[in-house]
Amino acid sequence: MKIHIDTDLCSGHGRCYTIAPELFDADDVGYGVVKTPEVPDDLHDLARRAASNCPELAIRIDE
């Protein structure tokens, strides 16, 4: 599984790195950045949860 943030859509709500700090991080002003682009098997659910809580629908998951 791969995760990707559409930086045109991300507006810095910070839900991804709050819900899944293993996979996402904040840049220096709070926009989301992918920390672990290749998601380990045991974090697939967490990745889906982060994506489904993004108010901008900015996270894409390639399974």
Partner 1 sequence: MTGPHTAPKIFEAFDHSSDPALRARHFGEWDRLREVEGSFGSSLNPDRTVWFLLRYADIHTALQDYELFSSSSVIPFTDEAHHWIPEEIDPPEHNKYRRILNPAFSPQVVAGMEGAIRVACADLIDGLTGAAGCDVIADFSRQFPTRIFMRIMGLPVERADELLEMVHNLMHTNPTDDPDGAIRGGAMMAIYGLLTEIFHSRRAAPHDDLMTTLVQAEVDGRPLSDDELRETGFLLYMAGLDTVAGAIGYVIKHLAENPDQQRAVRERPASIPAVVEEALRMYSIVTTSRVVTRDVEFAGCPMKAGDRIVVPTASANRDPAAFEDATTFDADRTVNRHIAFGAGPHRCLGSHLARAELRIALEEWHARVPRYRLDPDATITEHIGGVAGLDSLRVTWG
Contact positions vs partner 1 (CB under 8 A): 9, 11-14, 17-18, 26, 28-30, 49, 52-57
Tell the burial category of 50 from Cβ atoms under 10 Å away from its Cβ (0-12, 13-18, 19+): buried
Backbone angles phi, psi at 36, to 5 degrees: -125, 85
> Judged by CB, which is closer to partner 1: 10, or 39?
10
Minimal distance, residue 52 CB to partner 1, in Å: 5
CB of 62 to partner 1, least distance (A): 20
User: What are the helix (H) ranges across the chain?
Assistant: 15-19, 44-52
Closest distance to partner 1 from the beta carbon of 30 (Å): 5
